[in-house]
Amino acid sequence: MNESNRNYLNQHIDILSFRDLSPHTIDVYSSYMTQFIHWTETALSSKPLPDISWEEIRSYLRYLKEIRKLNARTINVHIAQLRDFYEYILHRDWDRRQIPYLRYDQHLPKVPTKEEINRIINSIYNPKHKAQLALLYSSGIRVSELCRLHCGDIYHSKHYIYISRSKNRCDRYAVLSEKAFQLLPVYIREFCPSASKKDWLFPGQKPGSHICTQTVAKVFQDRLSVLGMADAGYTLHSLRHAFGLHLYEAGTDLMTIKEAMGHKSFSSTEVYLSLGIGNGRSVISPYDV
């Protein structure tokens, strides 16, 4: 990367940092701009970034779509970063008529049944792994929230889990399942008997670090493989979807589910309407009446 483009990229990273985004988000967003800059240096012979035309930007997006085979959602994130770069760094107006966002299909998530989830959790013998998956399903928290839990965030007497700075940058409370809580003392006695309230509930390998999301995801995927469920289409996030759907199937109203899951927008909760109808909830065909 030439010096001029390196300076542009550093300015972009500085703006991302100024917006107080997480280090992981900054790394991901800056990597998108790095890919674009490398493409301009190769495909456009290091043409200055302020001189790149709309047609050349569209050529880059075609490259992402047709050569790299990226999906529309991912390409839209690239477009969003290009827009921010042009507006904040190059001080150029971004014309959405020249670079529109791509349309994409929306698919309903695959959600395991209660029976499948119980089968998964009950098949785990490692107390730490069992506690992790049980907490994810029983509370509906995100895996990133699970990884950042401190021991003092578990309030058994009040039956809630304190979530600090969730995905929406808000503190909130999640429900604490009695069955899931009963797994924690077994885990703590074996893995971290001297833990204090300020310590991570699930510490990582490095001193002072917490467990990473990829580690928990691997536990879940390995368990699916052992149980012959690898092709079911489930991901670790399916446990969170299962929490929402199973509450809805039990008659919980959507507003309560929204608050329980920490959704910022009601549109995120509405997916359980479609999933619930698919499972026959509250709908009888008029042909059968």
Residue by residue, DSSP assigns 133-160 as: HHHHHHH---HHHHHT-BGGGEETTTTE
Question: Structure tokens of 284?
Answer: 């009888």
% pLDDT > 70, the chain: 93
Supply the pTM of this predicted model.
0.77
Please write the tens of the pLDDT for every residue from 10-33.
999 999 888 887 787 888 889 999
Mean pLDDT to the nearest integer, 243-257: 85
Q: Kindly state the tokens that stand for 193.
A: 């008997």
In this prediction, residue 195 carries a pLDDT of 87
Residue 282: predicted pLDDT: 59
Name residue, tokens 């529309």: 72
Decide if pLDDT at 286 tops 80: no
- What is the pLDDT of the chain when averaged over all its residues? 87
pLDDT above 70 for 277 = no
Average pLDDT rounded to a whole number, residues 173-177:
90
pLDDT the model gives residue 250: 83
Q: Which of 69, 203, 63 is nearest to 146 (CA)?
A: 203
Intervals of CATH 1.10.150.130 along the chain: 3-89
Pick one of 1.10.150.130, 3.40.50.1980, 2.30.110.10, 3.40.50.300 as the CATH number of 3-89.
Answer: 1.10.150.130
Neighbouring residues of 179: CB distance < 8 A, sequence distance ≥ 6: 134, 138
Domain with CATH 1.10.443.10 in the chain: 114-278
Position 280 pLDDT exceeds 90: no
- Pick from 95-109, 190-204, 251-265, 274-288 the range whose average pLDDT is largest: 190-204
Task: Compute the distance between CA of residue 289 and CA of residue 281 in angstroms, rounded to an integer.
Answer: 16
Q: What's the pLDDT at 117?
A: 93
Decide the pairing of beta strands 160-163 and 154-155. Answer: antiparallel
pLDDT at 273 over 80: no
**What is the per-residue pLDDT across 46-61, written as a single tens digit (0 to 9) for each?**
899 999 999 999 999 9
d(CA 256, CA 261): 9
Write out the DSSP string of 114-128: HHHHHHHHHT---HH
Q: What is the pLDDT of residue 249?
A: 84
**CATH class of the domain comprising 114-278:** mainly alpha
Angle in degrees, CA 38, 39, 45, rounded to 5 = 95
Position 284 scores a pLDDT of 64
Tokens of 195: 């833990």
pLDDT tens across 180-234, in order?
Answer: 999 999 999 999 888 899 999 999 888 888 999 999 999 999 999 999 999 988 9
Print burial letters for 150-177: b (CB count within 10 Å at least 16), e (below 16).
bbebbeeeeebbbbeebeeeeebbbebb
Mean pLDDT of the 83-112 span: 88
pLDDT at 180: 93
CB neighbourhood size of 228 (10 A): 8
**pLDDT value at 279 more than 60:** no
* Per-residue pLDDT, 217: 93
Give residue 97's pLDDT: 92
